[in-house]
C-alpha cells in the first residue's frame, strides 16, 4: 500500500513534465457487502458490511477502453468480552486491482462497463489490552492472499470549470477461496482529479 501511495504521488507531479494526458487520480470511500461467508472466515454475521477506502488512477487516453488501477482497504472492528476481559478483532481486506472498462460518452456524464482482476490480502488483527489476565491471548486466523476477479459499472460526472469529476462505482467481486469462490459486492463514491 505504501508503494502505491508513493507511485501515485510521483505520477501526479511528474505527469505534466512528460506531457502525460488522459490521467486522473482519485480518492474513494464506500462499503464492501455480503462479507458474512464461511469461506472468508468471518467471525460473525455482523461481518456483512465493511467500510472501504482507496486510491484510484484512471487512464483514458487509450483507444477503445479506459484502464483503472486501484488500491483499496476494507475493514471492520469487533469488540468481544470474555469473563470480564475485553479485546478487539479487526477484519481487513487489502486489495489491489486492475480493470479495463468501456466508456459511453454522454453530454452530462460518462458511464462505463468492464471487468478486471485483483489480489485480496485477507486477515484479522487482535488487539489485546495490557491488562489482559486470562493467560493465553486470543489469536486470529492466518493472513492469506487470494486472487479474484470482478465485473463493474460506474459513471463520472464532470464539475463545471474544475478539473474534478464525481465518480460512483459498483463491483461484483469473486474471491478464489480454497473451499469455493466467495462473492462480495462493493459500492464506492469518490472524486477524481484530471491532469490538464
Q: Which residues are CB-neighbours of 23 under 8 A, at least 6 positions away?
A: 11, 15, 57, 58, 59, 60, 61, 194, 195
- pLDDT at position 38: 56
pTM reported for the whole predicted model: 0.78
Give dist(CA 71, CA 56) in Å, integer: 7
Do 126 and 140 form a contact (C-beta atoms < 8 A)? yes
Rg (the chain; Cα; Å): 19
Alpha carbon distance, N-terminus to C-terminus of the chain: 27
Write out the H or E segment, with its range, that includes residue 10. Answer: helix 2-14
- pLDDT at position 89: 75
Give dist(CA 124, CA 90) in Å, integer: 5
User: Which residue segments constitute the domains of the chain, with CATH numbers given?
Assistant: 23-194 (2.40.160.20)
> 43: how many CB neighbours lie within 10 A of its CB?
15
> 70: how many CB neighbours lie within 10 A of its CB?
23
- pLDDT at position 49: 82
Instruction: Report residues of the chain scoring pLDDT below 50.
Output: 1, 4-19, 45
Judge residue 105's burial from the number of C-beta atoms within 10 Å of its C-beta, 0-12 exposed, 13-18 middle, 19 or more buried: exposed
* Distances in whole angstroms, Cα of residue 140 to Cα of each of 6, 42, 115, 145: 30, 11, 32, 15
Give dist(CA 139, CA 63) in Å, integer: 50
- pLDDT at position 179: 77
HSE-CB of 90 using CA atoms within 13 angstroms: 11
Amino acid at each position: 500500500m505504501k508503494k502505491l501511495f508513493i507511485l501515485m504521488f510521483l505520477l501526479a507531479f511528474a505527469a505534466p513534465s512528460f506531457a502525460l494526458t488522459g490521467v486522473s487520480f482519485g480518492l474513494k470511500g464506500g462499503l464492501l457487502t455480503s462479507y458474512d461467508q464461511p469461506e472468508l472466515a468471518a467471525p460473525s454475521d455482523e461481518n456483512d458490511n465493511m467500510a472501504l477506502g482507496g486510491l484510484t488512477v484512471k487512464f483514458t487516453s487509450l483507444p477503445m477502453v479506459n484502464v483503472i488501477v486501484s488500491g483499496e482497504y476494507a475493514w471492520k472492528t469487533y469488540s468481544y468480552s470474555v469473563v470480564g476481559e475485553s479485546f478487539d478483532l479487526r477484519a481487513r481486506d487489502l486489495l489491489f486491482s486492475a480493470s479495463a472498462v468501456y466508456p459511453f460518452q454522454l453530454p452530462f456524464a460518462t458511464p462505463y462497463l468492464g471487468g478486471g482482476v485483483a489480489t485480496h490480502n485477507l486477515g484479522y488483527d487482535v488487539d489485546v489490552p495490557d491488562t489482559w489476565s486470562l493467560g493465553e491471548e486470543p489469536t486470529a486466523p492466518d493472513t492469506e492472499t487470494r486472487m479474484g476477479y470482478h465485473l463493474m459499472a460506474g459513471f463520472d460526472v464532470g464539475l463545471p470549470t474544475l478539473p474534478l469529476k464525481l465518480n460512483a462505482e459498483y463491483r461484483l467481486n469473486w474471491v478464489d477461496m480454497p473451499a469455493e469462490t466467495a462473492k462480495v459486492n462493493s459500492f464506492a463514491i469518490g472524486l477524481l482529479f484530471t491532469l490538464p
